[in-house]
Amino acid sequence: MRKKPHVLIVSPALADANNGNWRTASRWSRFLEPVAEVEIARGWDGAPCDAMIALHARRSAEAIAQFRAARPAAPIALVLTGTDVYRDIEENKAAQHSLQCASQLVVLQPDALDRLGPAERAKARVILQSAARLCKGAAVRSFNLVAVGHLRDEKDPLTLMNAARRLPAATPVRIVHIGDALAPELGEAARRTMAECPHYRWLGGLPPDVTRRWIARSRALVHMSRMEGGAQAVIEAVRSCVPVLASRIGGNLGLLGEDYEGCFPAGDDAALAALMERFAAEPGFARRLAAQCALREPLFTPPAERASVRRLLSDLLAPP
């Protein structure tokens, strides 16, 4: 029997972080386990492996550089995150070196390809992430909108809080915000908003399965990020038959489509408040967003992502 190849997945976050990098690493490990021996770690300790798959050009830069220096011909796949694509590869030398070291580049939605130079684009591919299908089933009586994402600047939680304050007193909209406060001042802002605004409730961080049920039971997901590589929460909403109210940024449009109607300008809390009110007041608009999301839903199935990840490994290990 042929020995399975040994693959190291380098992730700057492990299970304790409960974030997108860890969930991608964990899911890809499951996809590859039938065909490879897979290890997930924060770095490379010098142990032999046949291929490296690294998440995050900047935060995994040390592991990538060490592996490439020690093994000049070994294959490295680099998965580019939102902060990589929309910030770091333009200004961070370590992230730029990671691009040069990589044999293959992976982006998580097609808009990101346009942010790469010709040399990088030539070795890049899109792998759309996935989620299991989980629909709410019974009709949802409350008008909860759910926002999912740790409280940090890139996720722009203040725009959500300020939008909640703008909602009329009589609105049926209730916003449930899920995510740990990675910046203490944003946690304080969430607590103040919750105390002063009846439309807003912050639950802090929750386990992934509990968060997923909150999404499935909501009327819509609100996703207000300034920067995204390909948000898992958006994919989970679409796979839960839940429409999305999203900031108009490349990472969201790459998942939802350039013509998606449920968008607002990033950072514009007045526009977000107006969009939430329109969604609550116009059933036809809500149905239209749901129909647009339903057209995207088949793109995000686990079998499709699994096939893409295994194809990536096969290409990495193919003879030159």
Q: Name the token pair of 97.
A: 């070196």
Work out the percent of the chain whose per-residue pLDDT is above 90.
Answer: 90
What is the structure's pLDDT at 319?
A: 86
Question: What is the pTM (predicted TM-score) of this model?
Answer: 0.92
| Residue 42 forms part of a structural domain | yes
CATH of the domain at 168: 3.40.50.2000
Residue-number span of the structural domain to which 206 is assigned: 144-300
Say if residue 149 is in the same domain as residue 285. yes
Say if residue 267 is in the same domain as residue 157. yes
How far apart are alpha carbons 117 and 120 in whole angstroms? 5
Cα Rg of the chain (Å, integer): 20
Q: Which residues pair with 178 in a beta bridge?
A: 148, 204
What is the structure's pLDDT at 137?
A: 58
What is the structure's pLDDT at 141?
A: 60
| Residue 203 forms part of a structural domain | yes
Q: Give mean pLDDT, residues 104-126.
A: 96
Report DSSP letters for 127-141, one per residue.
-----------SPP-
- Scanning the structure block, which residue is given the tokens 């300020």? 162
Q: Name the token pair of 165.
A: 């304050």
| Residue 89 forms part of a structural domain | yes
Cβ neighbourhood burial of 259 (10 Å; 0-12, 13-18, 19+): exposed
Cβ neighbourhood burial of 159 (10 Å; 0-12, 13-18, 19+): buried
Say if residue 123 is in the same domain as residue 239. no
- Scanning the structure block, which residue is given the tokens 């977000």? 272
β-pairing verdict for 124-126 and 144-148: unpaired
Q: Give mean pLDDT, residues 26-50.
A: 95
| Residue 139 forms part of a structural domain | no
Say if residue 236 is in the same domain as residue 119. no
| Residue 102 forms part of a structural domain | yes
Q: Give mean pLDDT, residues 245-258.
A: 96
Among residues 1, 67, 50, 77, the alpha carbon closest in space to that of 311 is found at 77
How far apart are alpha carbons 67 and 223 in whole angstroms? 36
pLDDT digits (tens, 9 = 90+) for 203-222: 999 999 999 999 999 999 99
Question: What sign does the dihedral 307-312-318-320 (CA atoms) show?
Answer: positive
Say if residue 290 is in the same domain as residue 310. no
Q: Name the token pair of 244.
A: 């999305």
- On whether the CB atoms of residues 82 and 229 are closer than 8 A, the answer is yes
- On whether the CB atoms of residues 10 and 98 are closer than 8 A, the answer is no
HSE-CB for 169 with a 13 A CA cutoff: 1
Model confidence at 228: pLDDT above 60: yes
Say if residue 90 is in the same domain as residue 152. no
- On whether the CB atoms of residues 227 and 245 are closer than 8 A, the answer is no
What is the structure's pLDDT at 142?
A: 73
| Residue 134 forms part of a structural domain | no
Say if residue 294 is in the same domain as residue 313. no
Say if residue 14 is in the same domain as residue 25. yes
Among residues 81, 56, 22, the alpha carbon closest in space to that of 205 is found at 22
What is the structure's pLDDT at 18?
A: 66
Angle at 61 (CA atoms; ends 97, 234), nearest 5 degrees: 105
The number of domains in the chain is: 2
How far apart are alpha carbons 195 and 253 in whole angstroms? 34
Say if residue 73 is in the same domain as residue 216. no
- On whether the CB atoms of residues 245 and 276 are closer than 8 A, the answer is yes
- DSSP E strand stretches across 60-118: 76-79, 104-107
Model confidence at 15: pLDDT above 70: no
Model confidence at 139: pLDDT above 60: no
Confidence of residue 320 (pLDDT cuts 50, 70, 90): confident
Say if residue 162 is in the same domain as residue 119. no
Say if residue 151 is in the same domain as residue 294. yes
Angle at 65 (CA atoms; ends 130, 315), nearest 5 degrees: 45
| Residue 138 forms part of a structural domain | no
Q: Give mean pLDDT, residues 114-122.
A: 95
| Residue 135 forms part of a structural domain | no
Say if residue 35 is in the same domain as residue 121. yes
Cβ neighbourhood burial of 219 (10 Å; 0-12, 13-18, 19+): buried
